[in-house]
Amino acid sequence: MTGHTAARHARHPTGLLRSIYLPRTADALAFAMATYGIPLLVLATTRSSALTGLAFVLEWIPRLAVFGWAGAVVDRRGAAVVFFLASLGRALAVAVGALVLLLWPSGAVASVTVMTLAALTGVLTECSYVAVETAGAAAGRRAGARAHQVQAALLGIDQSATLAGPALAGALLLVGPSSMLAVIMVLSLLAALLALRTPPSPLAPARASKSSTGAGLLTGWRTIRSLPALGWLVTGLTLSNLTIGLFQAAGPVIVVNHYGQSTTAVGLIWSAAAAATLVTVAVCRFAIDRLGLWPVGAACAAVASLACLAAAQAPDYLSYLILVAALMAADGGMTVVLRTLRSRLIPADRFGSTLSASILILLLPFPIAGAFTALTPPDALAHLLTGCAVLQAIGLLFAFARLRTDSALRT
């Protein structure tokens, strides 16, 4: 597909649907099922909060390790190629895992298989995510002043997948792990096929072909430092993600052990959170048109901080569900602001590297949250959540206070 054709398709809803939105939908649903399904499987099998936290760590550390390399490869080879190869690789890995679990449904072989799948799917999923996010950002740049509408649509797709993914994974786990993995395999194959329609992204200069993972991350880090608005927003959201990661890692333990609910109730929380986020994203899409980025982002930061503080002390399951949904919905609004800034500010030929560096920073708190969950007694998790909620509120307050006069957020 030529650059002229890609640009023409990106300007029309039908072109965006086929080249950006449909591939993103298949990839996001596979991502959500893998991310939330594997920890649920570990808890249902072991009933151990320590192993559940450890599984969360094992799921996230390989994802973080691959970001610098993935961003550099996307800049060199293009988003479409990386997206296709990563999705196809995930389909093959999951197919092998499903076969092994079908033959050995329990015991040491099953445990090793599940942990290995957590690492492999994490690596491949993050490669595909960096690629499809790069393609989405290119579409946003072509949309000009409507960039936030494209980003809101992409975030809506992600949240729709989060709405369906945990519930679907939980239901399939009742049938068996192989059933859940088979669906992830089909979705991955579909994403690979749809990736063939993804328009090519701008490539970095030829000398970038010799860059290493460290060089790619260094380029991204330097770009973030040169863009103060992006740097402050990433800092605030990183502190916020520590608390969100803790809610995700400790959620199965809190819901099952503290509130006495089933593992299905854990998936219900994240499905409710995704539904609330979809509403928030739709509202933010129009609010940004009228008010600008900073007021919308600051309002979402305030809601997230208050909801997080309250959720840490929620007296029952229903209030916990509502407050976590409010927290994630507000985080979705801030994510629209972040994605819009990224598409506006980051140079096209450095987007993959800078995206990788920013996501690496944003996701570092997640394995830390898993380690906290593994090391903290279940009865003390509420105190840990409260402490992290206070840190989140301080971080977001300071970040948005510094951003108030930044011209990048005033438009």
Please state, rounded to an integer, the average pLDDT across all residues of the chain.
Answer: 78
For the stretch 138-168, pLDDT in tens is 666 666 656 666 767 777 787 788 778 877 8
Token pair recorded at residue 1: 């597909």
Residue 158: helix, strand or coil by DSSP? Answer: helix
User: Which range among 231-245, 290-304, 312-326, 351-365 shows the weakest confidence by mean pLDDT?
Assistant: 351-365
Helix axes 317-345 and 108-143, enclosed angle (nearest 10): 50
pTM score: 0.67
CB 17 within 8 A of CB 194: no
**Whole-angstrom Cα distance, residue 275 to residue 321?**
12
Q: What angle do CA 329, 359, 327 make, to 5 degrees?
A: 15
Tell the residue number behind the tokens 């105190």, with chain if given.
Answer: 383
310 or 194, which is more confident?
Answer: 310
Residue 205: helix, strand or coil by DSSP? Answer: coil
For residue 12, name the pLDDT band (cuts at 50, 70, 90). very low
Percent of the chain with pLDDT over 90: 11
Token pair recorded at residue 215: 């060089």
For residue 300, name the pLDDT band (cuts at 50, 70, 90). very high
16 or 182, which is more confident?
Answer: 182
399 or 14, which is more confident?
Answer: 399
C-alpha dihedral, 162 to 171 to 63 to 221, nearest 10°? 10
Residue 316: helix, strand or coil by DSSP? Answer: coil
Evaluate if residue 406 carries a pLDDT over 70: no
Evaluate if residue 411 carries a pLDDT over 50: yes
For the stretch 374-383, pLDDT in tens is 788 888 888 8
Tell me what the mean pLDDT of segment 364-388 comes to. 84
**Whole-angstrom Cα distance, residue 216 to residue 232?**
21
Length, in residues, of the chain: 411
Residue 308's nearest CA partner among 347, 341, 281, 334 is: 334
